[in-house]
Amino acid sequence: MKYVLASASPRRKELLTQAGFIFDVMPADIEEKISGGNPPDIVMNLARQKALHVFKALPGEACTVIGADTVVVYNGEILGKPSGAEEAYDMLSLLADRTHQVYTGVSLLTGSVNAPDIRTFYEKTDVTFYPVTRQELQSYIMTGDPFDKAGAYGIQGPFAIHVKCISGDYNNVVGLPIARLYHELSRSICHEH
């Protein structure tokens, strides 16, 4: 089966590669609009939009398109990618010494353009940070690492030194719950035979 990742995320590419997938990358060039709803519905809807956008653009060959979207949630508020240093600082200050949730929605599209088989799911991981000083936050923001990441941090980067504990799938926080993805794909292959 040919796989197409509907994302430009280097972290998602790395996770798929580490898991042994052979895949093409075709980022979904859509405006991500977060409409109302709870975090699981929002990430699943955005993942589905991305996967559908790429699926419709492909020549009718047999493949599975993988769409994904990740958000960070604290106290019911969704924290997207920060627009600048000040917003990154505000987000990280809010998360310091607290527990927040990371939701990733994944949508898998297989089959024909007229009647694709769509399977969409999400994973949630709780992440707790240690207290972080103002100086530590400013030093981290100066690295530039927060700006392309939901919640203004990457768990696999320099900010990892502030992660006290996680409950759930670590890779989900990186941006793709790779084990769940693998098992969902295995299930769909088993159903076809």
Instruction: Residue 64: name the closest of 11, 116, 18 by CA.
Output: 116
Q: Residue 28 CA to chain centroid, in angstroms?
A: 14
Spatial neighbors of 141 by CB under 8 A, at least 6 apart, are: 85, 88, 89, 92, 152
Strand, helix or coil for residue 128: strand
Annotated active-site residue in 24, 29, 41, 69: 69
N-term to C-term CA, the chain: 14
**Residue at 140: amino acid letter:** Y
Amino acid at 94: L
- Picking from 58, 53, 92, the residue whose alpha carbon sits closest to that of residue 69 is 53
Instruction: Tell me, yes or no, if 69 is annotated catalytic.
Output: yes
Q: Which region holds residue 111: left if phi is over 0, alpha if psi is between -120 and 50, else beta?
A: left
> For residues 91 and 29, is the Cβ–Cβ distance under 8 A?
no
- Active site positions, annotated: 69
